[in-house]
């Protein structure tokens, strides 16, 4: 399962060649290029099922992607791997040419006895409290880079809203405006007794 593939043009992903990347499912949170840059080639080479908002699925189909599962905010579906709900995200969404890409989204995935929240690019929102009420989240993947999304302080509060003690940091250091101080980010999470992980390419984490 691959989330928001951004390899081509990503200085942090130099050394990964697209033909090494395997996926059965590709999940896309919104239309910005740093989230779907490599969606089309990777979906085609893997015959992967693309799961995204309706408008992004239509766009992918127009690019020749065969298998798509369009969804929208609040909707839930039982896939082979488990159940996935598309969640609210407070962010913009458009394709590179400026055309409308639907609304930005996140995902809650229940699979193999665990529940994972991938927020996508988002501000801190009250809606996250609903996720904490509806699910027991084992792992949250949250943006922490600020400027375009939550910063680490907001993300730590988001983790407490969804009632999750284990967080993987996303959306930092790829561009100058979202370069972060890791120590300060860790401290923001430590203040709330939440474990924050910075995952390098090739790392694994046990949930
Ligand atoms: Ni974005």
CA 38 to ligand 1 centroid distance, Å: 15
Domain range for 190 is 112-207
CA 196 to ligand 1 centroid distance, Å: 21
User: What is the 3-state composition of the chain as percent helix, strand, coil, each rounded to the nearest 5?
Assistant: 25, 25, 50
CA 39 to ligand 1 centroid distance, Å: 15
CA 40 to ligand 1 centroid distance, Å: 18
CA angle 122, 123, 125 (to 5 degrees): 110
Measured between alpha carbons, how far is 152 from 180 in angstroms, rounded to an integer? 9
CA 121 to ligand 1 centroid distance, Å: 5
Is there a domain that residue 184 lies in? yes
CATH of the domain at 173: 3.60.15.10
pLDDT of residue 172: 96
Which residues, 6+ apart, have CB-to-CB distance to 147 below 8 Å? 177, 178
CA 30 to ligand 1 centroid distance, Å: 7
Is there a domain that residue 98 lies in? no
pLDDT-based confidence at 202, cuts 50/70/90?
Answer: confident
Evaluate whether 106 touches 83 at the Cβ level (below 8 Å): no
DSSP state of 202: T
CA angle 97, 103, 107 (to 5 degrees): 120
CA 99 to ligand 1 centroid distance, Å: 14
Is there a domain that residue 22 lies in? no
Decide: pTM greater than 0.85.
Answer: yes
CA 163 to ligand 1 centroid distance, Å: 24
Is there a domain that residue 150 lies in? yes
Measured between alpha carbons, how far is 142 from 154 in angstroms, rounded to an integer? 10
CA 91 to ligand 1 centroid distance, Å: 7
34 pLDDT higher than 90: yes
Inter-helix orientation angle 152-161/182-190, to 10°: 30
Is there a domain that residue 6 lies in? no
User: Residue 140, class by beta-carbon neighbours within 10 Å (0-12 exposed, 13-18 middle, 19+ buried)?
Assistant: buried
pLDDT tens-digit map of 39-63 = 999 999 999 999 999 999 999 999 9
CA 37 to ligand 1 centroid distance, Å: 12
Kindly state the average pLDDT of the residues 179-189.
97
Phi, psi of 99, rounded to the nearest 5 degrees: -75, 160
Q: Looking at the 3D structure of the chain, how many domains does it have? A: 1
CA 31 to ligand 1 centroid distance, Å: 7
Helix, strand or coil for residue 69?
Answer: strand
**CA-based max dimension of the chain:** 47
Is there a domain that residue 173 lies in? yes
38 pLDDT higher than 90: yes
Is there a domain that residue 85 lies in? no
Is there a domain that residue 142 lies in? yes
Measured between alpha carbons, how far is 173 from 169 in angstroms, rounded to an integer? 11
pLDDT of residue 50: 98
- pLDDT above 70: percentage of residues in the chain: 100
Burial 84-119 (b: 16+ CB within 10 A, else e): bbbbbbbbebbbeeeeebbbbbbbbbbeeeebbbbb
């Amino acid at each position: 399962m691959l989330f928001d593939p951004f390899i081509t043009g990503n200085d942090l992903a130099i050394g990964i060649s697209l033909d090494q990347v395997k996926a059965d499912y590709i999940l896309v949170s919104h239309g910005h290029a740093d989230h779907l840059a490599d969606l089309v080639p990777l979906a085609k080479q893997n015959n992967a099922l693309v799961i995204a908002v309706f408008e992004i699925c239509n766009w992918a189909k127009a690019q020749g992607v065969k298998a798509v599962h369009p969804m929208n905010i609040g909707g839930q579906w039982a896939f082979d791997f488990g159940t996935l709900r598309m969640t609210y995200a407070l962010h913009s969404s458009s394709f590179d040419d400026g055309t409308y890409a639907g609304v930005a989204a996140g995902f809650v995935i229940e699979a193999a006895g665990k529940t994972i929240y991938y927020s996508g690019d988002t501000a801190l929102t009250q809606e996250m409290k609903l996720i904490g009420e509806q699910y027991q989240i084992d792992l949250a993947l949250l943006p922490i880079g600020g400027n375009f999304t939550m910063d680490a302080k907001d993300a730590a509060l988001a983790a407490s809203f969804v009632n999750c003690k284990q967080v993987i940091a996303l959306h930092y250091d790829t561009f100058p405006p979202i370069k972060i101080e890791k120590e300060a980010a860790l401290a923001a999470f430590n203040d709330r007794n939440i474990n924050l992980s910075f995952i390098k390419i090739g790392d694994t984490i046990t949930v």
